[in-house]
Amino acid sequence: MKPADAAELTGWGAGTVVAGLGITVIALRLLRQRGLAFQVAVVAVVPGVTALLGAWLGARAMFFSDHDQTALTVLLVAAGIVGVLGGALFARRVASAEAELDRIQRERAVEDGRRELMAWVSHDLRTPLAGICAMSEALADGVVREPDDVARYHRQLRIEAERLGTLVEDLFALGKADHRLVTASLDRIALDDLVSDAIAGLAPVAESRGVRLIGTRTETSIELDAAAPELLRALRNVLENAIRHTPTNGRVVVETTRNEHHALVVVRDQGGGIDPGHLDRVFEPGFRGDAARTPGYAGGGLGLAIARGVVDAHHGVISIANVDDGAEVIIELPLPVGGA
């Protein structure tokens, strides 16, 4: 081979390698967010197409017959098509395997969450049940006879029964908090009135804990299409959580506002904030980030999970973040089409 031909072939080969590597790296970077299947397709197709291109360029340098070059071009194009189809098929199988793995992981996460929830709920059910059984047996066996003691036991029995009933209601609400059940009957409601009802209902609770519950609004009227009872429960759950974690002489501020497409309810407390490692878990059923919870608390760690389920069912978004000396929960709910 003449030195000039060798140099030309070497140049074409080196250029092909550089171009192939460059295209592969650039494509992988652009597709790094598109999943493993796209990256596999790039790795499978680009090198093959690059090799075929190098063969075609080399043939142009070596072959003199137009017929031979045409024949080789046809063969290389056919081989390229087969390579591309093979790479696409392989990528599709990888995508299917990736989707199946994601499904298995989601199912495993759901199952782990269900087991964890059942463990928490079982513990919370046993506590009031044990108290009810012990006190009822004491009354039935005549162990407690003094009128004052009997009255105290009756009061405690009622308290424990209420705790048990609240937990059962929370479990029912959590199971009901899906799109089909919550939005089965939507009505046009005034968000400000709903927030006012939630504040009024929890004002005695806040007062008993020495917490100021303050409501503000930046709009005179915000109307929504919503299931009022379920949305009211979600708001109450968020407010109860804020009140419970706010110290005496602290305050909880509730603000209603809106932007172009959403109505917003913002709840800020002064509870010192949340461990950053727990922010992603506060809406999980049964999660309790605070080990030293208020004694006698009747819930099972389901309040915020119910709130998220109700908001999701209304095609809204609920989020939480640390601000200043507390936490801020933002509920975004879509406004009716055409405005409110």
Q: Based on the fold, state whether residues 150 and 217 are members of the same structural domain.
A: no
Tell me the pLDDT tens digit for each residue of 249-292: 999 999 999 888 899 999 999 988 888 888 888 887 767 665 43
Taking alpha carbons only, the member of 296, 335, 293 closest to residue 316 is 335
pLDDT at position 295: 40
The confidence score (pLDDT) of residue 13 equals: 60
Domain boundary among 127, 160, 176: 176
Of 176, 194, 219, the residue that ends a domain is 176
Phi and psi torsions of 187, nearest 5°? -130, 155
142 and 257 share one domain: no
Look at residue 151 and tell me whether its pLDDT is greater than 80.
yes
Query: What pLDDT, on the 0 to 100 scale, is given for residue 4?
Result: 64
* Sequence-separated (6 or more) residues with CB below 8 Å from residue 251: 211, 212, 213, 214, 270
Nearest one of 309, 328, 144 to 241, comparing CA atoms? 328
Residue type present at position 66: D
Together in a domain, 200 and 61: no
- DSSP letter at 261 equals S
Q: What CA–CA distance (Å, rounded) separates 62 from 21?
A: 25
Out of 95-99, 101-105, 142-146, 327-331, least confident range? 95-99
Which residue would you say has higher pLDDT here, 47 or 196? 196
CB 50, CB 19: distance < 8 Å: yes
Same domain? For 196 and 119 the reply is: no
Structural domain count of the chain: 2
d(CA 10, CA 260): 62
Q: Is residue 294 part of a domain?
A: yes
Average pLDDT over every residue of 207-232: 86
| Interval 304-323: pLDDT, tens | 888 888 898 888 999 999 98
Take residue 268 and report the two structure tokens written for it: 């800020």
| DSSP states along 24-72 | HHHHHHHTTTS-HHHHHHHHHHHHHHHHHHHHHHHHHHH---HHHHHHH
Which of helix, strand or coil describes residue 333? strand
Q: Is the domain of 183 the same as that of 170?
A: no
Query: Does this model's pTM top 0.75?
Result: no
**Quick one: pLDDT at residue 62?**
60
Contact at 8 Å (CB) between 227 and 181? no
Beta bridge partners of 262: 334
Do 230 and 82 lie in one domain? The reply is no
Token digits for 335? 């406004």
- Domain of residue 235 covers 179-334
Average per-residue pLDDT in the chain? 76
Together in a domain, 129 and 116: yes
**pLDDT one-digit tens code per residue, 27-51:** 656 656 565 656 666 666 666 666 6
Indicate if the alpha-carbon torsion angle 291, 285, 320, 211 is positive or negative. negative
Closest among 82, 75, 125 to 300, alpha carbons compared: 125
- Span 217-246, average pLDDT: 87
Question: Do residues 211 and 250 make contact, with C-beta atoms less than 8 angstroms apart?
Answer: yes
Cα-based distances in Å from 327 to 202, 261, 272, 276, 320:
19, 24, 7, 11, 7
pLDDT digits (tens, 9 = 90+) for 3-34: 665 665 566 566 666 666 666 666 656 656 56
Task: Check whether 228 has a pLDDT greater than 60.
Answer: yes
CA 211 to chain centre: 30
Among candidate residues 176, 210, 237, the one where a domain is terminated:
176
CA separation, residue 272 to residues 183, 222, 247, 268 (Å): 35, 31, 9, 11
Nearest CA to 72 among 87, 85, 53? 53
Same domain, 131 and 213: no
Residue 279 lies in a domain: yes
Residue 155, helix vs strand vs coil? helix
Q: Where are the alpha helices (DSSP H) in the chain?
A: 3-30, 36-62, 66-140, 147-176, 179-182, 191-208, 228-244, 303-313
